[in-house]
Every structure is written in structure tokens, then in C-alpha cells.
């Protein structure tokens, strides 16, 4: 009996020792393979940097797709027991840039569209359609003649509006000239002291075109599975601060599997003309009490979208 116990103990120790050796060997092999993979990735990144530095077109796009649908029947715990609801939205960020030795031509498109519905089945008068809620459209074209690797004389045309509701009402078209600074490969800073902001709108008592300065900062980059874009567009009117505006949009995307991932978009905007136009459209009262540029609440505008992404 004692011999059997001794044999069993020796056998178990031998198996444990053998397993320990195998685990250490596997860890060593893993470290060796990881080092090889890191070296190969560094070489690939260096080659990609050389490719990116070559003259020619750079074209790309990424976006966010989010949505949800629900349906309730006789769900008495809520105020509307019979309803169907849904939310659908998507964002697209695209660019087509021509980079040459002496000049560049950068084109960008940003759009964020969202629809929402809440259909009360017990109310025949309500809407069962998807109604637009988020509506952002921006397209720009920047041309520059290089003075050096980081500075250029440039001209910019930028148009932004809504396309689902009130297309071109308002619509903004900026046309101007000045300088472009490229401190980093993926960062573009546009400073145009001579810019005219054309405003298109039915209510010409609120919306007014004016001369001013245009500043744009754009950072677009992809690192592995992560793609992100941040864009700040500002117009400072020389005529009145009430005619100035700025918009800051941000997009993040992380690829999880093949071309599918998760993404998050958010944007901020300050525009006093839009705030006054909205206040007048919803004002009920005596004409002498109507809101003006001096009395309107110019609240910060914002939106965000969270959902699945698809890499184009």
C-alpha cells in the first residue's frame, strides 16, 4: 500500500513538473512570436508612412449606423399601452484629398441624419411616420498653393444646411481666402481673414449675410482599428456678433470584426440667428413682446449618435 501511495505521489509530481515546463515553453514561444509580430507591424507602419507621403489622391470614409424598434400591446403599466416606436440614424464622414508637391485640394463631406417615431395605436390622429430629428449636412473644398511644407495660401468654399427639413432654409455658404497651416500630418488649420458668409433663408429679417473671418480646424486620423475626426468651423462677422456662428463635430469609430464596429458621434453649435428664428416661429403674444437679438435665449445646440459602424 505504501509503495502504491509513493508511486502515485511521484507520478503526480512528475506530471506537475512536466506541465510547468510545457507552460513556460509555450510562454517563451508566445513572447518570441509577439516580438516578431511587433517588428513586422513596425515595418508595415513605416511602409504605410512612405505610401502616405507620396503625391496623389487619398480617399476614404467611415460612418455610424444606429437604430432600435419596439412594439407594445396592452402594456398597461405605461401611459400608452399600445404603441410602436423606433429610432434610425446614420452618420457618414468622407474625404477625397489630392496632395501634390506644390499644391493640395482637400474635399470633405459630413452628414448626420436621424428619424424617430412614436405611434400611439389608440390615437388615430397621431402620426405613424418616422419624423426627422437630427439633420446635419456639411460639404467643403479647400485649395492651397504651398509656400512651405506647413504653410500655404488658400481658398475655401464651405456649404452647410439641413436636407430632410427646410433644405437651404437656412443654408450657409462661406467663400474666402487666406492661409492654411498644417502643423501635423493630420491636422489642418485654416485662417481666412477675408471671407463672405452668404446666408439663404426665407426669413430675411433675421438671417443676414455679412463679411467676416473664417477659421477651420480639422483633425482626421486612423490608428489601427480606431478612426476619428474632429472639425471646428467658426465664422466671426465684422458687422455684428449676432451674425457670427460656430459648429464643432466629432466622430469616433472602432472596428471590432472585419468592417463592423461601434461608433459615437456628437456635435455642438452656437448660432444666434437660428435661435431667434426658432423663437419667433414659436412665439405667441403681442408683437411688441416678440423676441429680438438682445432678448433671445441663445442656448447651446447639441446632438449625439451611438451605434454600430460600417467601414466603407
User: Higher-confidence residue: 223 or 66?
Assistant: 223
pLDDT of residue 312: 61
Least confident of 1-10, 118-127, 170-179, 248-257: 1-10
* DSSP conformation letters of 213-260: EEEEEEEEEEETTEEEEEEEEEEEESS-GGG-EEEEEEEEEEEEETTE
* Interval 80-87 mean pLDDT: 88
- Give the pLDDT mean for 148-165: 95
Q: Whole-number mean pLDDT of the chain?
A: 87
**Could you tell me which residue, 48 or 183, shows the higher pLDDT?**
183
Q: How confident is the model at residue 126 (pLDDT cuts 50, 70, 90)?
A: confident
- pLDDT exceeds cutoff 60 at 20: no
The DSSP element (H or E) to which 45 belongs, if any, is helix 2-53
Dump pLDDT digits (tens) for 86-99: 888 888 889 999 99
Q: What is the pLDDT of residue 66?
A: 76
C-alpha cell at 62: 467611415
C-alpha cell at 178: 487666406
Going by pLDDT thresholds of 50, 70 and 90, the confidence category of residue 133 is confident
* Number of other CB atoms surrounding residue 307 within 10 Å: 19
Q: What is the mean pLDDT of residues 111-123?
A: 89
Provide the percentage of residues in the chain whose pLDDT is more than 90.
47
> pLDDT tens, 160-198?
999 988 899 999 999 999 999 999 888 999 999 999 999
**What per-residue confidence (pLDDT) applies to 11?**
56
Name the least confident of 23-32, 133-142, 256-265: 23-32
Q: Which residue has the cell 448660432?
A: 271
Which of 8-12, 69-73, 127-131, 292-296 has the largest mean confidence? 292-296
Question: What beta strand segments (E) does the chain contain?
Answer: 56-72, 83-99, 103-120, 131-146, 151-161, 171-184, 187-200, 210-223, 226-237, 245-257, 260-271, 301-311
The tens digit of pLDDT for each residue in 247-289 reads: 999 988 898 888 788 888 889 999 999 999 999 999 998 988 9
> Per DSSP, what are the bridge partners of residue 200?
171
The values of phi and psi at residue 264, to 5°, are: -145, 130
254, 214, 218: which is closest to 237 by C-alpha?
214
Beta bridge partners of 125: none
Amino acid at each position: 500500500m505504501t509503495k502504491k501511495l509513493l508511486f502515485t505521489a511521484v507520478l503526480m509530481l512528475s506530471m506537475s513538473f512536466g506541465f510547468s515546463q510545457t507552460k513556460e515553453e509555450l510562454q517563451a514561444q508566445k513572447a518570441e512570436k509577439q516580438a516578431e509580430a511587433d517588428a513586422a507591424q513596425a515595418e508595415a507602419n513605416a511602409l504605410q508612412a512612405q505610401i502616405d507621403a507620396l503625391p496623389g489622391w487619398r480617399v476614404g470614409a467611415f460612418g455610424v449606423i444606429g437604430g432600435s424598434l419596439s412594439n407594445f400591446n396592452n402594456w398597461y403599466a405605461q401611459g400608452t399601452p399600445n404603441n410602436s416606436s423606433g429610432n434610425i440614424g446614420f452618420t457618414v464622414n468622407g474625404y477625397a484629398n489630392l496632395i501634390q508637391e506644390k499644391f493640395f485640394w482637400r474635399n470633405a463631406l459630413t452628414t448626420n441624419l436621424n428619424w424617430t417615431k412614436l405611434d400611439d395605436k389608440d390615437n388615430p390622429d397621431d402620426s405613424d411616420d418616422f419624423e426627422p430629428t437630427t439633420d446635419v449636412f456639411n460639404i467643403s473644398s479647400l485649395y492651397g498653393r504651398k509656400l512651405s511644407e506647413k504653410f500655404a495660401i488658400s481658398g475655401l468654399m464651405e456649404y452647410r444646411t439641413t436636407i430632410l427639413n427646410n433644405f437651404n432654409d437656412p443654408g450657409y455658404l462661406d467663400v474666402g481666402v487666406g492661409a492654411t497651416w498644417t502643423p501635423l500630418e493630420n491636422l489642418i488649420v485654416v485662417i481666412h481673414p477675408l471671407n463672405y458668409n452668404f446666408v439663404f433663408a426665407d426669413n430675411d429679417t433675421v438671417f443676414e449675410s455679412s463679411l467676416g473671418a473664417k477659421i477651420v480646424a480639422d483633425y482626421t486620423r486612423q490608428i489601427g482599428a480606431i478612426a476619428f475626426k474632429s472639425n471646428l468651423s467658426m465664422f466671426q462677422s465684422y458687422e455684428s456678433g449676432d451674425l457670427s456662428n460656430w459648429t464643432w463635430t466629432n466622430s469616433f469609430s472602432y472596428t471590432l470584426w472585419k468592417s463592423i464596429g461601434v461608433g459615437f458621434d456628437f456635435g455642438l453649435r452656437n448660432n444666434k440667428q437660428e435661435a431667434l428664428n426658432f423663437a419667433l416661429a414659436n412665439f405667441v403674444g403681442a408683437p411688441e413682446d416678440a423676441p429680438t437679438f438682445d432678448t433671445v435665449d441663445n442656448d447651446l445646440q447639441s446632438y449625439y449618435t451611438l451605434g454600430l459602424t460600417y467601414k466603407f
